[in-house]
Amino acid sequence: MDNKILEIFIPGPAGRLESKYYRSKKNTSPIALVLQPHPQYGGTMNNKVVVDTFNTFMENDFSVCRVNFRGVGKSEGEFDNGQGELADAAAALDWLEKENLDNSQCWISGFSFGSLIAMQLLMRRPEINRFISISPQPNVYDFSFLSPCPTSGLMIYGKKDELVPIQYIDELDKRLRMQKGIKVEFQSIPEANHFFSKNENNLAIAVDKYIKKEITIF
């Protein structure tokens, strides 16, 4: 499958953004954007969780893109504390939509810091139908902007996440559960830590299952 994955450069607000892109052969295929973890802690679009999530979307016949935020890899610019990274994600989504004008669905996914940016983008882009947020950190970042959360999605986390005390996840679950008309599922992977070390396969299975379930709804 790798030979069909293209390295591309997307015009971003701070210069070009290094990206990997797979285009489905089907014109009306759904699209997905997958966002990287924190650039200042070694996060890139080649992080294993990001790559596995990208591949899972690809295997489900999505046109899918993953992108290095500004200042990461061959992307131009420098880290901007989340604001610039949100602008980068918006530029990547713009590009992905232009390449796939007849897409049937629009999904967003992010890992750790990327899940924060993904959820912020979700609030600004009404065309996003579904999200998969992996290892969100509501103890570090304020997720109260998700009120109301505009669409259904999946929050997936490791039961043994060493960076996020479980009560913060439970509080977020409780807050989102009270919203009507959408369903945000919370799923834990029993033995997994924040990075899903040695549990990548279980994460990919859970992501795949959610995609297959939700894709049939549309």
Question: How do residues 103-137 score in pLDDT, each as one tens digit?
Answer: 999 999 999 999 999 999 999 999 999 999 999 99
| CATH fold of the domain at 2-215 | Rossmann fold (3.40.50)
pTM comes to 0.97
Q: Are strands 15-22 and 184-189 parallel, antiparallel or unpaired?
A: unpaired
- pLDDT tens profile 185-205: 999 999 999 999 999 999 999
Average pLDDT score over the chain: 96
Beta strands in 14-62 (DSSP E): 15-22, 31-35
Which residue is it, tokens 């992010």? 110
Q: What pLDDT does 3 receive? A: 59
Which sequence spans correspond to the domains of the chain?
2-215
Q: Which two tokens stand for residue 211?
A: 């995609």
Interatomic CA distance for residues 52 and 14, integer angstroms: 27
Interatomic CA distance for residues 140 and 209, integer angstroms: 28
Q: Which residues of 40-54 are buried (b: 16+ CB within 10 A; e: fewer)?
A: eeebbbebebbbbbb
Q: What pLDDT does 1 receive? A: 47
- pLDDT tens profile 137-169: 999 999 999 989 999 999 999 999 999 999 999
